[in-house]
């Protein structure tokens, strides 16, 4: 073999840890993470979620403690999701408009105790409805768009008044971003961001989340008339374009790993901040793999999160946020 072969050895820069760090093309830090948390009524309450091992619902005081933990770990933002008591769920989801609902109380408590941590609030009616849908349902079982959007406006303003930093509409109603942006501007909430769930797919990966918010078993039918078909990619680009034109500051792709191709296309097309939600089913699969002895948690967590960053994500919503932040701190 010739002494000159090969002239360039790509393994050369991989030969030592310091060199691998120096040549890394993608960097993952705790500042890339958003930590989803579930809020429940009570005081001093922690309710483990069986389908999400390692994840619990917390009463407001526990949520505040998690927010302080996020601050100390360098996680810049938490996302809140309420487990509304069954007696407060109605067909029209009116509890979403209550200024003293779980979401609003938790938001105020966090902003009072840890104002430097961002709070992202979910805008959709499914945690508040008896039928489990994200909007109002007509006699035929169809989720009506415009009437739902009117309620989402009030829900968003309600959350902004409580101190939300980012409003995140996850409902997938047409036109709601522009309506919410106009309402926030009318409130003088000029710096409240909108992170639109712009490409949210009707996915089989949401089951544990529905357990967490108490909507499992309530859902009548499915959500395919408003969430996207998993076969479609061009449609996702149209959804993103519309939401950006209506005033979204950032957009989200949901679920995460099965839709990295969508993340890449959105980032390349629009050059805007793109986020992905590593959803409950993705988290549960990692934990099931660990429990079965088929994988090692630390490696799986960091590798999957790096995949999001490599695909172009500005950040990732993940239930592994606190664990990942500890790993990244070394």
* pLDDT tens profile 131-175: 999 999 999 999 999 999 999 999 999 999 999 999 999 999 999
* pLDDT reported for residue 221: 84
**Which pLDDT band, with edges at 50, 70 and 90, does 217 fall under?**
confident
* pLDDT reported for residue 121: 98
Residue 1 lies inside a defined structural domain of this protein: no
Contact indicator for 54, 291 with CB cutoff of 8 Å? no
Computed over every residue of the chain, the mean pLDDT equals 96
Residue 16 lies inside a defined structural domain of this protein: no
Sorted by sequence, the CB contacts under 8 Å of residue 303 that are 6+ apart come out as none
Q: Is the pLDDT of residue 4 over 80?
A: no
Tell if the pTM clears 0.85, that is, is over it.
yes
**Closest C-alpha among 124, 112, 126 to residue 156:** 124
Q: Is the pLDDT of residue 318 over 90?
A: yes
Residue 170 lies inside a defined structural domain of this protein: yes
Total number of domains in the chain: 1
Which residues partner with 121 through β-bridges? Answer: 80, 167
Contact indicator for 304, 9 with CB cutoff of 8 Å? no
Q: How far is CA 102 from CA 45, 165, 310, in A?
A: 14, 16, 36
Residue 217 lies inside a defined structural domain of this protein: yes
Residue 8 lies inside a defined structural domain of this protein: no
> What's the rounded Cα separation, in Å, for the pair 150 and 49?
33
What is the number of other CB atoms lying within 10 angstroms of the CB of residue 229? 10
> What's the rounded Cα separation, in Å, for the pair 118 and 75?
9
Name the one residue in this structure whose structure tokens are 């938490």.
Answer: 78
Active site residues: 200, 254
Whole-angstrom Cα Rg for the chain: 21
Q: What domain range is 77 assigned to?
A: 28-329
Is residue 303 annotated as involved in ligand binding? no
Query: With pLDDT > 70 as the criterion, what percentage of the chain qualifies?
Result: 99
Q: Is the pLDDT of residue 1 over 70?
A: no
> What's the rounded Cα separation, in Å, for the pair 306 and 315?
10
Residue 79 lies inside a defined structural domain of this protein: yes
CATH number at residue 245: 3.20.20.70
Cis (ω within 30 of 0) for the bond into 6?
yes
Alpha carbon dihedral 320, 322, 325, 330, in 10-degree steps, equals -110
Residue 14 lies inside a defined structural domain of this protein: no
> What's the rounded Cα separation, in Å, for the pair 246 and 241?
9
Residue 129 lies inside a defined structural domain of this protein: yes
CA atoms within 13 A on the CB side of 230: 12
E strand intervals along 177-299: 193-200, 250-254, 274-278
**Closest C-alpha among 141, 133, 204 to residue 173:** 133
* pLDDT reported for residue 2: 65
């Amino acid at each position: 073999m010739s002494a000159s072969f090969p002239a360039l050895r790509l393994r050369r820069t991989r030969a030592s840890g310091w060199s691998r760090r120096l040549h890394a093309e993608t960097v993952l830090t705790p500042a890339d993470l958003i930590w989803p948390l579930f809020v429940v009524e009570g005081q001093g309450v922690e309710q483990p979620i069986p389908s999400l091992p390692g994840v619990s619902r917390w009463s407001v005081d526990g949520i505040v403690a998690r927010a302080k933990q996020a601050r100390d770990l360098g996680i810049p933002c938490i996302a809140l999701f309420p487990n509304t008591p069954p007696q407060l769920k109605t067909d029209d989801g009116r509890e979403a408009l209550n200024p003293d609902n779980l979401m609003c109380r938790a938001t105020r408590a966090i902003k009072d105790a840890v104002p430097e941590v961002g709070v992202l609030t979910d805008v959709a009616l499914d945690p508040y409805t008896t039928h489990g849908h994200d909007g109002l349902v007509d006699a035929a079982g169809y989720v009506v768009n415009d009437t739902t959007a009117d309620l989402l406006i009030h829900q968003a303003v309600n959350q902004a008044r409580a101190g939300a930093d980012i409003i995140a509409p996850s409902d997938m109603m047409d036109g709601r971003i522009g309506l919410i942006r106009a309402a926030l501007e009318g409130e003088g909430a000029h710096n409240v961001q909108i992170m639109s769930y712009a490409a949210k797919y009707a996915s089989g990966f949401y089951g544990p989340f529905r357990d967490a918010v108490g909507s499992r078993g309530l859902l009548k039918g499915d959500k395919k008339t408003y969430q996207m078909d998993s076969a479609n990619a061009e449609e996702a680009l149209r959804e993103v374009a519309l939401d950006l034109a209506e005033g979204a500051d950032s957009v989200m792709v949901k679920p995460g790993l099965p839709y990295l191709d969508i993340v890449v296309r959105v980032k390349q097309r629009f050059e805007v901040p793109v986020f992905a939600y590593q959803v409950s089913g993705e988290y549960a699969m990692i934990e099931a793999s660990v429990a079965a002895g088929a994988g090692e948690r630390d490696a799986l967590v960091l590798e999957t999160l790096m995949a999001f960053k490599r695909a172009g994500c500005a950040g990732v919503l993940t239930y592994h946020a606190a664990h990942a932040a500890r790993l990244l701190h070394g």
